Amino acid sequence: MSVITIAPINFSNPELIDKIISELKKYLPYKINLQPLQINLNFAYSVERGQYYSTKIIQHLLPFAENINGKFLALVEVDLFIPVFTYVFGEAQLNGKVSIVSLTRLHEEFYSGISDEKLLIERSVKEILHELGHNFGLIHCKDWDCVMHSSLGIEEVDIKGIDYCSNCKRLIRL
């Protein structure tokens, strides 16, 4: 049985993490461990972009995942990018151990100024499942009902499904 380690980095709201993990357990048959981390992420900050380079953070987290039997997903509250995109909701090592998800652009108040915790939790679960799917070897799925569908904007996160489609579940033996 795999273990999923969720590692909130410098997180300001532990109660939110508990709610996200509780919801996440509905979709994953794995044990979920919580490992909060305090890491200075300045090494990944781009002054030009005002964002954090997610690939550098993943590389920095590799030693934390070395002795873990399973997957390691970091949650951050900073805005992430990779050079070819304006921003990313997350990034993962395909068939690897480590992934990262940012909650910054999953907050509804980022777009409308209105807070919606239920929507934030749903979006967070979708993006966590999506990045873990990449860790398990899944690529983007064409099925809009599948959480592995690519999301280029928050509207697409909201439209896509919250679980893996039957084909993706079969591929990762869920």
pLDDT tens string 126-173 = 999 999 999 999 999 999 999 999 999 999 999 999 999 999 999 998
Res 2: pLDDT = 79
Contact 9, 41 (CB under 8 A): yes
The pLDDT tens digits for 45-57 are 999 999 999 999 9
- Please state, in angstroms and rounded to a whole number, the distance separating the CA atoms of residues 120 and 115: 9
Q: What is the pTM of this model?
A: 0.97
Q: Which of 109, 131, 155, 156 is catalytic?
A: 131
Reduced to 3 states (helix: H, G, I; strand: E, B; else coil), residue 87 is: coil
DSSP structural state of residue 13: -
DSSP 43: G
pLDDT (tens digit, 9 = 90+) per residue, 65-91? 998 889 999 999 999 999 999 999 999
User: What count of residues does the chain have?
Assistant: 174
Question: Under CATH, which number does the domain 3-172 receive?
Answer: 3.40.390.10
Closest to 143 measured CA to CA, from 123, 166, 174: 166
Q: Is 91 helix (H, G, I), strand (E, B) or coil?
A: strand
| C-alpha 52 chain-centroid distance | 15
Region 15-24: what's the mean pLDDT?
Answer: 97
Instruction: Tell me how far apart the alpha carbons of residues 96 and 55 are, in angstroms, rounded to a whole number.
Output: 13
Please state, in angstroms and rounded to a whole number, the distance separating the CA atoms of residues 50 and 79: 8
Q: Is 131 a catalytic residue?
A: yes
pLDDT surpassing 90 at residue 24:
yes
**Cα–Cα distance for residue pair 6/32, rounded to 1 Å:** 7
Q: Which of 157, 155, 149 is nearest to 123 (CA)?
A: 157
User: Band of the pLDDT at 1, cuts 50, 70, 90?
Assistant: low
pLDDT band at 15 (very low <50, low <70, confident <90, very high): very high
